[in-house]
Structure 1
Amino acid sequence: MRAVLMWAVPLVLVVAYLLLAKIITRDASMVPENFPVLEPDEIGTAPAAPAGVVEVATFGSGCFWCTEAVFQQMKGVQKAVSGYSGGHVPNPTYEQICTGRTGHAEVVQVTFDPAVVSFAELLEVFWRSHDPTTLNRQGNDVGTQYRSAVFYHTERQKQLAERYKSKIDAAGVYQSPLVTQIVPFSEFFSAEAYHQDYYASNTQQPYCRAIIGPKVEKLRKVFHDRLKGE
């Protein structure tokens, strides 16, 4: 349904969509404020990286417009690019992805400075900004392309993601267990140009106002001291 909103849609359908989205989409504010974090002894000590060396992380958490907008707010994130990962079709188009038959998930590839923001912190942002308990679904966006997933680039990313996922489940943060996939990264295909910086370029678009805006606002309240410009 998100794709439909990109084009001309009768006003009554837009209103109906927005009302339904508000009902179905899980608001990040429903997540308890005492959301667990990985403690230093759980994170361990990573090998020291040379100054200026960046790392890459790839996350799928439903609509990549939402995921991109969220990570772009964080200090230490140098780049957040919307795209596709985890499938079997090379260089897929958005139209192909929407069929759910390519195997790809909508993802955002994040380039970050680990001296400013850690992978563990990015995982916290990831899990707090979507519902990781709904299989192949985020609100009205339904299909395997909207699955919750961490595509790890290193063995350390895998270990931290698995450790954090287990900790969230053990804390009983959600009524249902997390269904987030933690799978090895293979390839990333950048999405079409009109998908990049979507929220920043379309803040008044209905989907942005009803879905993405509230997520960004919640992020600003929770991570205010770790955001750009704060």
Structure 2
Amino acid sequence: MDNVKQITFGGGCFWCVESCFNMLNGVISAVSGYSGGHKNHPTYEEVCTGETGHAEVVQITYDADIISYEQLMDVFFFLHDPTQLNRQGNDIGTQYRSVIFYKDEEEKTRAELAVEASKKSGRWEGTYVTELSELEKFWAAEKYHQGYYNENPSQPYCSAVVGPKIQKFKKYFGELGMLKNEA
């Protein structure tokens, strides 16, 4: 694995985003966390107030020889509605914003191209509000958030929101042959 890379983005509640990315071939890990705010070591409770400026994000470590940046972006834009400002469904607040964090100018350019490709796909109607922000710091979320859906599938939010999104994801990306065997 000589071509290991990372990408960080937010697309609503990190529980379903993390769960889906961990099912993809080539993804080594997807870790729920926080980025884009002004407080060091934020807690979930602090981020939920909207006062720290952080977004709920997932940091994905992947093998670029198996899955490309563009494929990851396609999944990102499949999993959330990039036209909803500071919300995804009933999850409302700046912590649920659509955001791609980039590390350098090359990654910023690739993110801009991914946004344009998604717009051209026609998947989402309306004006895209996806932010592009430089990644300054990623803070891993508390341990209980990691793999949350897998540990709590019958929790009400998981069964009503996360579960159906995961089933839709598995159907679409499974047909494309992009899922790990155990998914």
Residue 181 of structure 1 corresponds to 131
* Structure 2: distance between partners of 1:219 and 1:173: 14
How much does 1:137 deviate?
A: 0.4
* Structure 2: distance between partners of 1:116 and 1:156: 20
Secondary structure of 1:57's partner?
strand
- The answer to whether the 8 A contact 1:56-1:153 is kept is no
Secondary structure of 2:99's partner?
strand
Uncovered stretches (5+) of structure 2, i.e. residues with no partner? none
Which is strand-richer, 1 or 2? Answer: 2
* Structure 1: distance between partners of 2:128 and 2:36: 19
Secondary structure of 1:221's partner?
helix
Pair 1:229-2:160 in alignment: no
Pair 1:201-2:151 in alignment: yes
- Which TM-score applies when normalising by structure 1? 0.75
The RMSD of aligned alpha carbons is: 1.3
Most deviating of 215-224 and 190-199: 215-224
- Which TM-score applies when normalising by structure 2? 0.94
* Structure 2: distance between partners of 1:78 and 1:173: 27
One-letter identity of the residue aligned with 2:178? R
One-letter identity of the residue aligned with 1:187? K
Q: Percent identity?
A: 51
Secondary structure of 2:124's partner?
coil
Uncovered stretches (5+) of structure 1, i.e. residues with no partner? 1-50
Residue 93 of structure 1 corresponds to 43
* Structure 2: distance between partners of 1:70 and 1:154: 26
- The answer to whether the 8 A contact 1:202-1:208 is kept is yes
Runs of 4+ in 1 over 4 A off after TM superposition: none
One-letter identity of the residue aligned with 1:131? D
Report how many residues are paired. 180
- The answer to whether the 8 A contact 2:108-2:132 is kept is yes
Secondary structure of 1:226's partner?
coil
